[in-house]
Structure 1
Amino acid sequence: MHGEQEAFQLTEPDDGALVLTVVGEVDVDDAEAAQEMAGRLCRGDQRLSVVDLSRTTFMSSDFLNVLLRLYHHHRNHERRLVFVLPGGAALTPLQVTGLDAVFTTAPDLASALAS
């Protein structure tokens, strides 16, 4: 289990963008903190939301559900959401569930912010 500050970092690196960086393992104990951070992305008025999974080493099914709800919220409100997904540990659960084909992805943060 991680503290909210340790596992999740919310930043505004660019005018009109909000980035949620997910670091390390996100297990069932982190689901509430993950949902709170996703809620902050949903409540913002940014032109672009980015979820950076490049430093994520494990994702529980609870966290996958948070990501899926975040995706649906952005789609239903016609807002742009990009996942940074260079490969590695974060890619496998998304491939197994087919979410890698549903989500808009970028290989790195710079590409996501430019989209």
Structure 2
Amino acid sequence: MGVSYHVGREANSVYDESLNGVQTVQTHNHEFTNNRNWPTQIYVREARRMSGEYVMTENDCRRLTIAKDPVGLGSYQMDSHNVQRYITKMGCVQNEGNIEVSTKEPYAISYRSIIPKK
């Protein structure tokens, strides 16, 4: 939903203000019933700074390597966020390092890739 808010005793006014900005968004009335149907934690999609016991690679996403300890399936395309933006000689902004490649079919996600390396 792209909405973030502060959780805590002092955050009620921030919460109310954020909620007022998204009145057209509907939540599921059977989830998070103790918090006006909003989750109490922010969803984190990436953990770039965590080194896992196993690092998934392109070979995993292309099913050239199959995880022996799968905990789920991924089907998102492989992507690499922009490394940097710079100004070209013509004065245009250029993104560098963006890669988006389809995986064509679901791939196994290794349990070891979601637990921190010891």
TM-score (norm 1): 0.22
Larger Rg computed on CA atoms: 2
Query: Which one has a larger percent helix, Structure 1 or Structure 2?
Result: 1
